[in-house]
């Protein structure tokens, strides 16, 4: 790869990338500080194409939030409600099935399930949610419950996290989503999500899942009080666990959304920060196959740009996403397969429809 470096301080990093050497947190800080964003992009694109060629993956999936009642008080969340609060809900079996039936099409391959930490229902409620969906839609993968929810279920049920996961797998769980990670440092969690799983507990939940044979996802919620170094520590902790288990399929940087759609633009991440963070993720997480550009948070057009900044996945159709939108996301709540294909082709990439585990369904 021939690149004219505008910032000569990047030469050492370029040499490491071209030789397949792991970048350090100090290297990551240089990538965040440099004004030579296009070189960062070219390096990330090079690494991505070495792993994935021109392929960009997407899935036809449905987003389900069975309950928004939550014990936690994360400062960034606009989705949660307390028991009895206006707008609080907990779907029963009939409501769950009606929700899916009203939005169903025969191309959907995955249910993506995340909800509140609801102490008003027993652990069996969460097991039954999976059982009901598996009974009526056995062809669909169930991607359910974050690492933070696994820790919550352990407290709710009196079981260990391993026992919780074993019960969920028996009910039909196929994979864990990546949420609940936020930023994996205790300084951040003490301020932003004090009632949720600690850094070690979130990582343990995924390590236990990997030990049971599950492949899982990992996220990072950036753009609030964290320092750039904390983002890189977060990536490094994921990288170390991946070295140990090889259980993560994809990393998803999530741009923080303001609490209100009327909030000033200064509260949103910048396009530069979004693209830079995706590129740095690709360069730091050398043992992850995929970096996802999450169109719900950064919008379809910036997602298209991200395909030249190291991203190989743009998530899916979703049908109706609620959590980011309740926090102020300005995007639509779903895109069609045709819209996703058009977006990928417009970036001169190869659209590949996949299942949850990156098996190819169809190339377009």
Find tokens 């440099």 and name the residue. 34
Q: Is 61 helix (H, G, I), strand (E, B) or coil?
A: strand
Task: Report how far residue 292's alpha carbon sits from residue 343's, in angstroms, rounded to the nearest whole number.
Answer: 14
In angstroms, rounded to a whole number, what is the distance separating the alpha carbons of residues 364 and 342?
A: 10
User: What SS3 class is residue 221?
Assistant: strand
Residue 9 included in any domain: no
Q: Which domain holds residue 149?
A: 54-363
In a domain, 316, yes or no: yes
User: Could you tell me the CATH number of the domain that includes residue 221?
Assistant: 3.20.20.70
On whether residue 31 sits in a domain, the answer given is: no
pLDDT in tens, 14-62: 999 999 999 999 999 999 999 999 999 999 999 999 999 999 999 999 9
| pLDDT for the residue 2 | 64
C-alpha span between 211 and 280 (Å, rounded): 28
- Rounded Cα–Cα distance for residues 162 and 165 (Å): 5
Task: Give the residue numbers of the binding site for [4Fe-4S] cluster.
Answer: 70, 74, 77
Spatial contact of 94 and 141, defined as CB atoms under 8 Å apart: no
SS3 142: strand
Number of compact structural domains in the chain: 1
Residue 209 lies in a domain: yes
User: Where is the binding site for S-adenosyl-L-methionine, in residues?
Assistant: 76, 182
- Residues forming the annotated binding site? 70, 74, 76-77, 182
pLDDT tens column, 221-264: 999 999 999 999 999 999 999 999 999 999 999 998 765 544 44
> What secondary structure does DSSP assign to 281-320, as a single string?
HHHH-TT-SEEB--HHHH-HHHHHHHTTTT--EEEE--S-
Question: Is residue 20 situated within a structural domain?
Answer: no
- Residue 76, token pair as written in the block: 């960034």
Task: Evaluate whether 247 touches 286 at the Cβ level (below 8 Å).
Answer: no
Torsion of CA 80, 215, 159, 170, to 10 degrees: 100
Give me the sign of the Cα torsion angle 157, 99, 68, 165.
positive
Confidence of residue 120 (pLDDT cuts 50, 70, 90): confident
DSSP collapsed to 3 states, 65-122: CCECECCCCCCCCCCCECCCCCCCCECCHHHHHHHHHHHCCCCCCEEEECCCCCCCCC
The reply to whether 18 falls in a domain is no
- For residue 140, give the nearest of 319, 331, 344, 350 by alpha carbon: 319
Q: pLDDT (tens digit, 9 = 90+) per residue, 97-115?
A: 999 999 998 999 999 998 8
> Which candidate, 176, 130, 135, places its Cα nearest to that of 356?
176
- Run of H or E including 58: strand 55-59
Asked if residue 3 is part of any domain, the answer here is: no
Q: What digits encode the pLDDT tens for the residues 76-91?
A: 677 778 877 888 899 9
SS3 assignment, position 350: strand
> Is position 217 within any domain?
yes
């Amino acid at each position: 790869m021939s690149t004219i470096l505008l910032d000569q301080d990047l030469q050492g990093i370029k040499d490491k990338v071209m030789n397949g050497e792991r970048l350090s947190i100090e290297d990551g800080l240089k990538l965040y500080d440099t004004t030579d964003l296009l070189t960062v992009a070219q390096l990330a694109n090079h690494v991505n194409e070495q792993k994935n060629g021109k392929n960009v993956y997407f899935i036809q999936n449905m987003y389900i939030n069975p309950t928004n009642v939550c014990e936690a008080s994360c400062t960034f969340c606009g989705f949660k409600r307390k028991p009895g609060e206006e707008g609080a809900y907990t779907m029963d079996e009939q409501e769950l099935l009606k929700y899916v039936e009203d939005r169903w099409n025969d191309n959907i391959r995955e249910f993506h399930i995340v909800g509140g930490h609801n102490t008003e229902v027993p652990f069996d409620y969460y097991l039954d949610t999976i059982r009901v969906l598996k009974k009526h839609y056995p062809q669909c993968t169930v991607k359910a419950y974050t690492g933070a929810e696994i820790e919550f279920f352990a407290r709710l049920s009196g079981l260990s996290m391993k026992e919780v996961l074993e019960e969920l797998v028996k009910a039909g769980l196929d994979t864990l989503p990546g949420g609940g990670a936020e930023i994996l440092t205790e300084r951040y969690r003490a301020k932003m999500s004090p009632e949720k799983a600690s850094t070690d507990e979130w990582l343990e939940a995924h390590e236990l899942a990997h030990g049971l044979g599950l492949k899982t996802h990992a996220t990072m919620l950036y753009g609030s009080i964290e320092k750039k170094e904390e983002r890189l520590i977060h990536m490094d902790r994921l990288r170390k666990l991946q070295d140990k288990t090889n259980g993560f399929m994809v990393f998803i940087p999530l741009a923080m959304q303001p609490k209100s759609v009327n909030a000033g633009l200064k509260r949103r991440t910048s396009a530069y920060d979004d693209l830079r963070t995706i590129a740095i993720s690709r360069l730091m997480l050398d043992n992850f196959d995929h970096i996802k550009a999450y169109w719900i948070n950064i919008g379809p057009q910036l997602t298209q740009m991200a395909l030249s900044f190291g991203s190989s996945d743009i998530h899916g159709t979703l049908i109706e996403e609620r959590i980011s939108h309740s926090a102020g996301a300005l995007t639509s709540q779903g895109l069609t397969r045709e819209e996703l294909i058009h977006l990928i082709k417009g970036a001169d990439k190869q659209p590949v429809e996949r299942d949850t585990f990156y098996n190819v369904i169809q190339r377009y």
